[in-house]
Amino acid sequence: MRHYSMKNAGILVIVLFLSCAGSDTEPILNRTETIPKAQRKSHSIKAFSKTYSDEYFWMKDKSRCNEEVLSYIKEENRYTEAVVEPCKEKIEQLYEEMRARLTEDDLHVPEKIDDYYYYSKDLKGNEYPVYCRKKGSLESIEEVILDVNLLAADQGYLEVADISISPDHKMLAYLADTEGNEFYRLFIKNLSTGHLLNDNAYPVGDMEWGEDNKSIYFSLMDMESNRSDKVFVHVLGEEKNKLLFVEEDEGFNAGISKSRDKKYLFISSFSHTASEVFYAPSTGGEFKVFTARIPGHIYYPESRNGEFYIWTNCDGAKDFKVMKCQQEETSSSNWRSFIDGEDGIHKDFVIFKDHFVLSETKESDETLKVLNFSSGKWHEIPLGDPPYAVYLHNNPEFTSKIFRYSFVSMIDPYSVIDHDMNTKHDLVKKVQKIIGGYSRKKYHQERIYAQAEDGTKVPISLVYKRSLFKGDGSNPLWLYGYGAYGDSNTDYFSSARLTLLDRGWVYAIAHVRGGGELGKKWHEQGSMLNKKNTFTDFISCAESLYENKYSSADKAVINGVSAGGMLIGAVLNIRPEIARMAILEVPFVDVLNTMMDPTLSAVVSEYEEWGNPNIREEFNYIASYCPYTNLKQGKYPDILITAGMNDMRVNYWEGLKYTAKLRQVKTGNSLVLLKMNMSGHFGDSGRYEHYKDLAFIYGYAISTIR
């Protein structure tokens, strides 16, 4: 459910192996265990003219201390562990196979900031990165500035985020979460002494250094709503923080950032559909509004050469355009066009002192164009054949002539590329190395289209190994979907996915409506009162894959994470026979009950995505598709649900309640397993833990689908 945090650069797949077999005819799944039976307690929920019964409401415990709930969770985890006990050796084999492909000692491409080169490295056996720097040149002596492994030594969980160096390179600020609930504590380290300062704050959303080297700005989160609603400035050595901004609207979050030319600080207040920015000199001063908040208007400015360049959706530019204004005339009435908007082509940009990089995305494929401000001429950066994905790096040096990006496809490992914006030449700095060898020629990727119920063409990206693809429907299929918040599912490479492809699997991504693959309209057609298009699109994608002999329903796994888990839950209620198995990871399945509780994390801000249940029409629409409340008696496939005890985006009780009710209503002998992780939305921290989790789920699929 939760989407607003910018920290979620990526989603960790947290799953558990469901069943496996020693041979095609001899299953070794432990079926002798007694299935946990949850108590059913009467509880009614009234809304408008309707009354809903929720017999598992008692599982909802915000304190996460209720002994009855904790005891039941332990029983679910015990049951799942007992069921898969005979499969542990198989899972370990797959984990070792995935790990064998990794470059365990790995140096990431250094990033130049002023006279320093900053980089991180992974060392064999270490779960976490080591952050380092060198001064002057890459031949200089290495200085370790932060070893996350040392921080994690006495922690069960650790995520370090938003690492930031002070402008004079003497201080290091970072955010650390030790629970998985995304409540971060701010730490500041003196790089000369190696000691932590007494200056800290909690819980912090994001932070930014002032150019005076002694002021650090940060947003503070409300722990009840999990919303960043205040912005402070802290001066090193002082006890009190100065409050700069309070966002009263519960649908908005507040954040802090700095312009790329380092001249301005921005306080941004934002929802899913609107934003408002306040700006001040980065050396200190009063913040003033950039242009006043208007419902539906999203904008963010950047600074260059006495002007602001503004990314905006104003005047109907749903997929954004770029405008500019003088820095003393920031009201929108003074904005003038720089890059026009185009429907279905999402625009974004990175600005440099002498160059402007324009990103245009259509159907998930990105085009990069560079403007030389001096000559006024554009050139395009040549990329590969679609489908592919492009990721823009931080590019911290505003004056640089080098623009860094990464290129990847479903068959091309990640490449880090430096593009010289003057010479127009590319320099490949690094290509992801696959230990044991890898040849893209052995694999095939393509994009096909399914026809939705209303005639809309829905893209599907897929990949498989050429020599193992039969084209007769007998290949096993992994079909993934998300479709929410206007986020695009990128066509990325995964070395772990080779475990599936090398065993004959087809891996497919359904780019259903609700995502952003085809622009803002694609998002709007799968949100609010159009949300059901997301579900029927996914069904159409599955059917198209079956009809075109990529696979068949009895050999398919369908999978979704978070809002994608809600997608899979809704699909199962509509067409439970659509696949042999379903995997719902940290799934947002109790949509109706969650959206009716505004005290939960960021619920109010989500009204713009799902609808406001206080409005009758929107309540009725949510109620008509909510996966949990619409579970009904009948056959369901084998289903695995995961949840995170400290998850503040999708609270743990959603998966817990869904598991209990699903077992209550389903018929037949299919299994329903729950794995409750004791961390948060993204599962356990650590790179090896991630691959262990993938080994669980891939082992489940490989051994069960034949």
Length of the chain in terms of residues written:
706
CA distance 174 to 186: 6
CA distance 586 to 606: 17
43 belongs to the catalytic site: no
Closest by Cα among 591, 692, 652, 675 to 181: 652
Which residue in the list 562, 679, 685, 703 is annotated as catalytic? 562
681 belongs to the catalytic site: yes
- Cβ atoms within 10 Å of 210's Cβ, excluding its own: 22
Give the rounded distance of the alpha carbon of 311 from its chain centre.
Answer: 22
Name the pTM for this structure. 0.94
| Residues forming a β-bridge with 239 | none
DSSP state of 350: E
Can the peptide bond before residue 387 be classed as cis, meaning omega within 30 degrees of 0?
yes
Per-residue pLDDT, 28: 61
Going by their DSSP bridges, the two strands 299-304 and 50-53 should be labelled as: unpaired
Reported as a single tens digit per residue, the pLDDT across 233-273 is 999 999 999 999 999 999 999 999 999 999 999 999 999 99
Token pair in block for residue 112: 């130049």
Per-residue pLDDT, 13: 33
Per-residue pLDDT, 419: 98
Is residue 214 a contact partner of residue 262, using CB atoms and an 8 Å limit?
no
Spell out, as residue ranges, where the chain has pLDDT lower than 50: 1-27
- Cβ atoms within 10 Å of 684's Cβ, excluding its own: 20
- Cβ atoms within 10 Å of 270's Cβ, excluding its own: 22
Give the rounded distance of the alpha carbon of 383 from its chain centre.
Answer: 24
Reported as a single tens digit per residue, the pLDDT across 81-127 is 888 888 888 889 999 999 999 999 999 999 999 999 999 999 999 99
Give helix 563-574 / helix 532-547 axis angle, nearest 10°: 70
- CA distances to 314, 363, 407, 455 from 344, rounded to whole Å, are 16, 8, 22, 18
Which residue in the list 354, 412, 647, 693 is annotated as catalytic? 647
**Exposure letters 318-350 (e unless 16+ CB within 10 A, then b):** bbbbbbbbebeebebeebeebbebbeeebbbbb
Is residue 28 a contact partner of residue 600, using CB atoms and an 8 Å limit?
no
CA distance 243 to 217: 10
CA distance 559 to 674: 15
249 belongs to the catalytic site: no
Single-letter residue type at 485: Y
Per-residue pLDDT, 15: 34
Per-residue pLDDT, 84: 82
Three-state secondary structure call for residue 404: strand
Instruction: Calculate the CA dihedral of residues 608, 614, 615, 621 and round it to 10 degrees.
Output: 70
User: CA quadruple 196, 197, 198, 203: dihedral positive or negative?
Assistant: negative
- Average pLDDT value over all residues in the chain: 93
Is residue 408 a contact partner of residue 493, using CB atoms and an 8 Å limit?
yes
Which residue in the list 120, 681, 685, 693 is annotated as catalytic? 681
Number of separate helices (H) and strands (E) present in the chain: 12, 40
Instruction: Give 644-655 as a 3 state SS string.
Output: ECCCCCCCHHHH
